[in-house]
Structures are given as C-alpha cells and as structure tokens.
Amino acid sequence: MSVKTKTISEKEGPHAALPRTAHVRSGRPVHVPAGTTRVVAALLRKELLVELRTLESVPGMSLFAVTTFVVFHFALNQSSVSGDEAAGILWVTLLFAAMLGVNRLFVADEDQGGFDAFLLAPVDRSAMLLAKALALLAYLLVLELVAVPAFGLLLLGPSLGQALPDLLVVLVLADVGIAVIGTLVAALAVRTRARDLLGPLLALPLLVPVVIGGARATSPLFGLNHADSPPARWLLTLGLYDLVFGLIAYAVFDFLLED
Amino acid sequence: MYGRGLRTLSIATVAVMGIALGLVFFYAPLEAEEGFLQKIFYIHVPLAIVTLCGFVIGGLLAIQHLRTREQRWDMRSYVAIHMSLIFAVGTLITGSIWARGSWGHWWVWSEPTLVSFLIVFLLYATYQPLRFAIEDPERQARYASVFAIVAGAFVPLNFLAVRLSTEYLHPRVLGSASNLPAKMQLTFLVSLLGIALLYATLCKYELTAKHTRKLLKARSKILGFR
C-alpha cells in the first residue's frame, strides 16, 4: 500500500500534506499544520482508492451478509419473517458483516508502514480517525445497498418499499455509531497479538446499545400492517450514542497513534 | 509506600463487615413478601454499586495516566478494574440466586439492571485479553487507558439504553434505598460501606503486592541475582 500512497501524494504535488509556511511580522517562518479538512479528504481518498483497487472489504462484507440471510432461512426454517424477528435478523447480519470491515480497517496501515508514514507528516492525528470512520461509514452504506434489498427479496414478509424512508434514517444513525466505535476498536486491536479476535470481542458489547436502538426502531417498520413509524426515543438514543462516542473517540484517539 | 495504613484499613473493613452482617441477620426486619431471601439484597446491591463505581474510577485513573504519563496511575487503573471484575462475578452470582428465588428463573431478561450489568461485565472481560496481547509495556499502559476511558463512559450510556428497552414488568421497590423502611435503609448503608471498604482494602493489598514485587525485582537486579 505504501506504493499507492506514494502515487497519490505525487498526484497532489509534493507539498500536499506538508505544512504550509506562513510569515508573521517577526519575519520568522512559522509552521501552520495543513488544514484538517484537506488532510481528511486526502486520507479518505487514499482509503477509498485502496479499497477500489484491492476490493478487500466491501465485496466480502456484502457476500457475507447475503450468505447469512440464507443461513438464517435454513436455521429458522422460515421462508419469510416480519416484526421483531425481521429486525433482529437484519441487525445481527449487518453487525457481523460490519465486524469483517472493522477487522480489516487498519491492517494494511499496520503491516505496510502506513502508520509510520502518517506519523511523519506534520498533521493533526485526529484526521486519521475522521478519515477512517468516514471510510468505514462508506463501506457500511455500500454494504446496506446490497444487504437491505437482498433481505427484502429473500426473507422479509411485508414489502420493503413502505418501510424504506424511515429505515434509511435508522440505518444512517446506527451506521455512524458503528463507524465511530468500529474505528476506535480497530485501532485498539490492530497492534495486538490477537487482533482478529479482539476486534469483535471489544466491539460487540460496545455496540449493544446500537443494536437495541436499531432493532427496536426497525421492528415496527417491518410489522405486517405497516402502520407505525420508528419511535422517536430510539432515534434519540442512537443520536445520543453517536454524539457521546464521537466526542470520546475524538478525545482518546491521539493516544493510540504515538509510536 | 502502598503498605502504609493497610493494617488500619483491614481492621476497619473486618469490623464494618461484621457489624453489617450482624445488622443484616439480627436487626433488619424480614421482608413481608420475600422473607429471608430478601437478605441477599444487602450483599447484591452494594456489590453492584461498588463494582460500577470501580469501573468508572478505573476510567478516571486512566485519564490521569494519559495526562501525566506516570506509570503508577496506570497500575491503579488496572487494579481498580481488575478488582471490579472480581466483584462483578460476585454480583452476577448473587443476582442470579436472587432471581431464581423470587422469580423462579436463574436469568431474567426483563430486569434491565441485571442485563446492563452483564453487558458491562462482558465488555470489561476483554480488558485483560487486550492488555496482555500487547508486549511493549508503555503501549500496553496507553492502550489499556484508552480502553478504560471508553468503557467507563459506556457504563452509564448502556444502562440508559437497556433501561429504555425494557418495560417495567417488576415493581422496583428494592431498586433504591430511598423508599426503604428506616431499619432496612440503615442496614443497607452499613453493608454498602462494608463492601466499599472491602474493595478499597483488596485494591490496596494488590497495589502493595505489585509495588513490592517490582521493588524486589529492581533490588535483586542491582545485587546481581537473576
């Protein structure tokens, strides 16, 4: 991946990620770190480009989700589900598929020196958190683009169409939480000996509130009579969760990238 | 340095625990519905409260570690979480016994406090696997602190989410000390103090032991023992 990182930075010019030099009145040059937005955009571009070229995470996640629906069909011995059951199957599948992406999120950076390269650049370290979380969010959205229609086709009894607008809100709110916690946990686990094991082990209990909120908000949408919209308190819980863990992740992430 | 006051603390713990047990069995009135079984409340609830406080304190100590970078704060955070984990096992076992006695099942999903406690326990159970999968001691301390902070913040949020998810099937008469009869309340508070002292003493013992072992290692290195 180091090769790819290099090509990208060459494209953007040699000074893309370097500090701009500003002159103050004393005449001494003062280093101003490159704007965080630009750094995040560059890092995100790198992430998405690497994923597009290697196709390491997203196709696997999507395939895993579809296969899991088939497994659920046989394990539950049911050809269509609705209500609580449907919401549960969808959320368990999405969560476990997300774990695959979480496990791979930092592996390339750890194995091929991406961390070192990033630390050498005089940029805000939180940019890495933001870029990785946005990348994971993008992976999750693509995953759902495949998994949700597949779920509607294979398992869901009531039609998906009416539930879709409300479902989108719930999915996005939950995805933000999964992306934040996933990025934090991936960074914690990647430099340990048992990273494949520790990632899901850390992430699943932390994401239980997201599953509660997501599943409870979706189950009325998958009801047989389509009457209900998601209860506001669950959307509020999801939003609160995203906010709190977003801030916490921002506060502690720097400490994971020190050596 | 950690050993100072250990004897006084131990004696105080034994005394308060003794008084608490005396109050539980001879002073507090029998509860009308549950009878003798309700006595487990005086052990179970203080254990749960002390455990959760211990987890949050572990997070606060971890913040202190990340701010000062002094290794002793990490050690304190580790000991607080380690001891809380042991207390958590006690809480889950006593909670299970209580549930079996009063509701007929070893595990009850409709009791939000018990369920959130299990989730918190499962999260903290990964603290040691995470910590000891990192070899470099400095990084180990740093990563463990990050975990302790995130998990410490998770504790209250998780309780909120799980409580929201459960309809109140069981009247929560025993949930808080505020609506208890005076005699029960006194017994409960003394038990809480006893368990809190027990926690503090055990933490101090572990800290002293760890500190002494480190000192011993350093001295034998100086003297050339292997």
ipTM for this model: 0.83
Contacts of A189 in chain B (CB under 8 A): 130
Interface test mutation site (partner A, options B138, B146, B159, max chain A beta carbons within 10 A): B146
Contact A247, A219 (CB under 8 A): no
Quick: pLDDT tens for A147-197: 999 999 999 888 888 888 889 999 999 999 999 999 999 999 998 988 889
> Cα–Cα distance between B206 and B80 in angstroms, integer?
10
Interchain pair A189, B130: CB under 8 A: yes
| Domain boundaries, position B45 | 6-223
Beta pairing partners, B31: B35
A contacts of B120 (beta carbons < 8 Å): 205
Q: Phi, psi at residue A24, to the nearest 5°?
A: -100, 180
CA distance B120 to B110: 17
Whether the CB of B86 is below 8 Å from some CB of chain A: the reply is no
Confidence band, pLDDT 50/70/90 cuts, at residue A5: very low
Please enumerate in sequence order all residues whose Cβ is within 8 A of that of A253, keeping only pairs 6 or more positions apart, or say none: A125, A126, A128, A129, A184, A187
Q: Are the beta carbons of A125 and A41 closer than 8 angstroms?
A: no
Candidates B85, B87, B97; CA nearest to B39 is B97
CB-neighbour burial class of residue B188 (10 A; exposed 0-12, middle 13-18, buried 19+)? buried
Nearest Cβ partner for B146 among A233, A244, A255 = A255
Residue B190 lies inside a defined structural domain of this protein:
yes
Number of domains in chain B: 1
Q: Is A53 on the interface with B (CB under 8 A)?
A: no
What do you get for the CA distance between the two ends of chain B, in Å? 25
CA pair distance B185, B170, nearest whole angstrom: 21
Q: Which of A205, A252, A259 shows the shortest C-beta gap to B146?
A: A252
Partner-chain contact B130 A198, CB within 8 Å: yes
What are the distances in angstroms from CA B139 to CA A259, B74, B131, B132? 8, 11, 9, 11
CB A43 within 8 A of CB A123: no
Instruction: Give the B window 150-169 contacts with A, CB below 8 Å.
Output: 150-151, 153-154, 157-158, 160-162, 164-165
CB neighbours of B119 closer than 8 A, spacing ≥ 6?
Answer: A205, A208, B158, B162
The reply to whether residue A248 touches residue B126, judged by beta carbons under 8 angstroms, is no
Listed in sequence order, the DSSP H helices in A55-163 are 58-76, 83-104, 107-111, 114-120, 126-154
In a domain, B43, yes or no: yes
Q: Examine residue B143 and state whether it is found in any structural domain, yes or no.
A: yes
Interchain CB distance below 8 Å, B123 and A205: yes
CB contact under 8 A, B133 and A192: yes
What is the predicted pLDDT for the residue at B1? 65
Q: What CATH code is carried by the domain that includes residue B54?
A: 1.20.120
- Cα separation, B113 vs B158, in Å, equals 10
Whether the CB-CB separation of A209 and B126 falls below 8 Å is answered with no
Q: What is the pLDDT along chain B (226 residues), one digit of tens a residue?
A: 677 888 999 999 999 999 999 998 888 888 777 778 888 888 999 999 999 999 999 999 999 999 999 999 999 999 999 999 999 999 999 988 988 888 888 888 877 788 889 999 999 999 999 999 999 999 999 999 999 999 999 998 888 877 777 654 444 544 444 567 888 888 899 999 999 999 999 999 999 999 999 889 989 888 887 6
Angstrom distance (rounded) from CA B73 to CA B50:
20
Query: B110 lies in a domain?
Result: yes
Decide: A100 and A68 in contact? Cβ < 8 Å: no
Confidence of residue A115 (pLDDT cuts 50, 70, 90): confident
Is residue B1, in this structure, part of any structural domain at all?
no
Strand pairing report for A20-23 and A29-32: antiparallel
Asked if the Cβ–Cβ distance from B147 to A240 is below 8 Å, we say no
**What residues contact A190, with CB distance under 8 A and at least 6 apart?**
A105, A106, A107, A109, A110, A199
The mean pLDDT of A19-29, rounded to a whole number, is 48
B64 found inside a domain: yes
Phi, psi (rounded to 5 degrees) for A156: -70, 130
Cross-chain Cβ contact B129/A194 below 8 Å:
yes
Is B145 a member of any domain? yes
From the CB of residue B11, how many other CB atoms can be counted at a distance below 10 Å? 11
Per the domain annotation, does B108 fall within a domain?
A: yes
User: Cα A228–A230–A232 angle (5° rounding)?
Assistant: 125
* pLDDT per position as a tens digit, A27-42: 555 555 568 888 899 9
